[in-house]
Structure formats: structure tokens, C-alpha cells
Structure 1
Amino acid sequence: MKPVFILVLSAQLSGLCAQEAATGQQQVFTGVYLMNLYDLNVNEYSFYADFYIWFRWKGDRDPSGIEFVNSVEKWGFTTEMFSEEPKELAGGWMYNGMRIEGRFYYPFALNRFPLDKHELVIQLENTDYPIDSLIYLPDTSRFLMREDFVIPGWEVEKAETASHTNAYSTDFGEPTGARSAYSNFTFLIHLKRPLSYFALKLMLPLLVVILASLGALFIYPSYIDARISLPIGGLLSCVFLQQSYSSALPDVGYMVLMDQIYLLSYLLIAAVILNVMLSGNKAATKDGMNFKGLYNNNKRLAIYLFTGYFLGIALLIFL
């Protein structure tokens, strides 16, 4: 009688443990391997990505029923599973994965353009199980992208994965429904614009224009026509240069870093024009004026203006 009781008790305990395991949180180790990232469109706040994603877990819940939180143009998504049924590995582990290609949304913050840095994200959640039933955890894989992976026009710093909880503060129109929280798995790609783009393509032409405008202060004050033509030409050049990069940016309600640098450039050119006009008036109204002293003062002013301009740019960049 006693052995029978022990067997019955053991069976009940085993069933209870199995039921508890079935209702507990299932951990899913998730990995990503990025193949390509292209058509990075700042104006449309989106990019295309082609990557592999895989899942490794223990339990009966299939983690492959996912949706990408920041996906757009879902009609253009392609998904190819590794296998129709999960593959059983040693130690009771289950394994499956898929290759994904689609377009994703990312809200580019362009305040620091052209020295801006971004963290492109691809976020996924399970459509069937909340976080108390299933959680995605980053896999231990060290390789998250192809070794020769590049994005033309950008510098890729690193890639990483992270997991957090995404709680929806709505009942989705069901008054009796509880507000749910889901495990959110995120793949991040850190990238920035190369410094050469800022220095050579944007700042170098602007500096040439600024130096040419300041050159007006190195012309003898009596040559008023030659002096005024340089900063006026520099002003027009600045307008065209600013339009050349602004046309490649979306309409935003704030000034980007390059806009602030151009604002500083306009102020410098305006100061040069004002000085040329005042010097010309003095030269025209005062006979026997000491032009050499005025000329030396203008040269010193040009040095002060350029120094202040350089320091102003440094403050805008580093503060």
C-alpha cells in the first residue's frame, strides 16, 4: 500500500512540475546576422535591411511567430524559414530561423548634421505570447554582420543586440482586456557620417568663400568698387552652397549644425560689407585722410573676424 501511495504522489508531483514548466516564462536565445543594409533614405526616414535571425529555446512555444515593430511597406517583406518545423538539438534545445528582407522606419535626428550619429534599429515582438510566457534574450554570437559590410557614405561603428519589455498603455478597445507587455528584441547598428564629408565637401568651399570675403579688407580703402564686390560675391556663394546641401535633407523645424555655421558666416560677411561701406564713406567725405592707418585697421579687423569665426565654429561643434 505504501509503495502505491508513493508512486501516486510522485506522479502528481511530476504532473504539477510539468504544468508549472508549461505555464512559466520560456527563454528564447535570439541571434542576428546582417547581410546588407541599403537605400538608407534620410528624407523618408527609412532603410532596407537583409539579415538572418534565429531562435534557440527549450519548451513547446514556437517563438517564430513574430512581427517587426518598426517595419514599413509590409507588402514588400520577404521571409524564408530555415525549415518548416523546428530542428531538435542536443540537450533538448529546439532551433529554427529565417531570412528577412524588408524596409524599416527610423526617425533620423539631424540636429548635428553633418556630424550626426545614428542608431538604426530593427525591433521584433512575438504576436502570440506576452512577456510572462516568452522572452527573447540576445544570443552569445560575436558576429552580427558580414566582415566586409559597408554602407556607402557612412562609417559603421558597431552592432549590438538588446532585449527589453514593451508595455502597451492601451486595452486595444477591449474594456475587459488587460494591458499587455511583450518581450521586445532589438538589433542596433551604430553609424556616423565620415569626417571627410564635413571637412572636404562642406567646410572647405565655405572657408574659401569666407577668406575671399575677408580679402576685401586687405584692399586699399580707396578702391571701393573692388572691395564691395568680394563680400557681395561671397554672400551669393554662401546662399548657393547652403541650398546645395539643404536640398538633400528633409524639411525639419529646427536648425541643423551646418545651418548654424552658415548663420555665423552670414554675420561675418555682413560685418565685412558694413565695414567696407563705412570706410568708403570716410574716404569720400574726408580729404587728406590717412588711408594707410585705415588700411592697417581693416587688416587687423579681418584677423579678428576670422579668429572669432573659427572659435565660433569650434564652439558649435564641441558644445
Structure 2
Amino acid sequence: MPAPERIPSRSLAPAGEARVLLDGELTVRGRIRGASNAVLYCTVAHQGQELTCVYKPVAGERPLWDFPDGTLAAREVAAYEVSEATGWGLVPPTVLRDGPYGRGMVQLWVETEQAPAPTLAGAVEADAAEGPTPVPGAALLGLVEGEEAGQGWRPVGFAEVGEGRTALLVHADDDRLRRLAVLDAVINNGDRKGGHLLPGRDGRLYAIDHGVTFNTEDKLRTLLWGWAGQPLTAEAVRVLTRLADGLAGGGDLATRLVGLITPAELQALRGRVGMLLSSGRHPEPSGQWPAIPWPPV
């Protein structure tokens, strides 16, 4: 499949922080280690305003067998556009622009209350009491020794935690996570890990790392299966109806996605929104693709 045609950055016409990210002078301050692709920590300055951001140049993307080369940055921007269209604001402002190492994705840095945990295994203690032991630094995920998630938590599945032991992986029964589960189903997110959940200091939940999204095949792989098969909320149905309108031919969202994903991927996106509205339920694992990403964080 050929890479999608690029559109000039100016056609996205963002406002506020996204405008600074798009038009500002981008300065690389360092590199974030541990990522599978090049991730650069930067500042961007425009008309007296300076923001901290992340820059992922296309040149630093590792090839994937199931995605066209050089398209991950554009997919991250497309995820932001869909998030904005929902009104939930789950993805930080994200733009596609030129930078010191060529064209790439630039995304606003989110200051968090706590850093994501490096491992889930360390969250389980041999003498764990009832209820989940929270993942260090991330109150939205946890592991439980036993078969019950406990009040305020939703079960995902059992995980190996070493020495022949298993624990129940759970996530918080949180409205913000439920909205994100809907967004992930819409964009067909193939890699929703715990480390991609950022509880901001402003009380909002942000989600990052959306390079492996919008595939035409079912790739949904996530930690947020706690509502699988359950009815969508009335709010989610309203949002999906709005998305369907925006994705119709000539719709605003469809126009904004041109050049970020392929026509076939845009049509598949419309199909996923339609299927969610038709079923009225959160999707369930297909069984044809690993349901939970590895490593989970």
C-alpha cells in the first residue's frame, strides 16, 4: 500500500497551542530513551510564547511489516484530529511539520502528577491484601492476586508475573478511560499500553503514542477491555453520531484527515464508527489478533 499523500501543514489551520507547535522555532534539547522510534525532547517558541514538546521525525521511524513506511507521524496527527472531533480532548495538541531532522510529528508535552510505571510485575506483592495493588506512579492500572477486580476496578485478564505466578490485570472504572476505550476502537489502536496514559496536573487524562492506528484490518490491542461487550454510554453514542457526520463525504473531519491516512483507511474508519453505532456496544477481542499489547507498559 502506498504511503498517503502529504498535505501542507498550513492547511490544518490549528489555533492556540497547536499554532505555536506548528509555526514556532523548534529546538531539540535531548532524546527520550527507550522508545522504539526516535523521540526528541524539544522546546518551540513563537511570538513570545514557548512550549515544551516531543518531536518524532519520520526519518527516525522503524519499518513495520503491517504499516507503510514513513506514515506513523501522520497517523499520530490523525488521532489528534479525531480526538478533537469527539470533544473529549484526550490527545495532546499534535501537528505535522518540518523540523531539524526533517518532517515529523510535534506534540505538546504533558506534565503529569506521576510518571508511568516501568513494569507491572513489580506491582504484585506476595502478601497482597484484598483489592488491587496500584502500579507505581499510575493509579489507573493495577494487579490483583485473586479472581475479583474489587470495587472501582474492571478486570482485563490474567498476566504472568514471574515464578509461575499469575495476577489479574485491572484498570480503573473511570469515565475518562471509558471515553478513551471508545476512541481507541474508532482509530483502531494497535498498541494501547499503560505507559501511554498520562494523568495531567490539570486533572485531565491524556493519551499518547498513536503511530500504529487506522489500519484497514482489525488491530485493536489494548489494556482497556474492562467494558468489552457492554452497552455504550449515551454520551458515546452522541459523540459517534457526530463523528459519523464529520466523516461523511465533504465533512469537516474527513477533510482534515485527507493526506494523513489513505482513502481506504478513511473508509475503514467510517465503517468502524458505523459498526459501533449499529451494535451499540463496546467491541470485544476478535480472537484473531493478540488482545493485549506486550509489554503491557
Q: Tell me if both proteins adopt one fold, taking TM over 0.5 as the criterion.
A: no
Structure 2 length as normaliser, TM-score?
0.23
| TM-score normalised by L of structure 1 | 0.22
Q: State the structure with more CA Rg.
A: 1
Higher strand share: 1
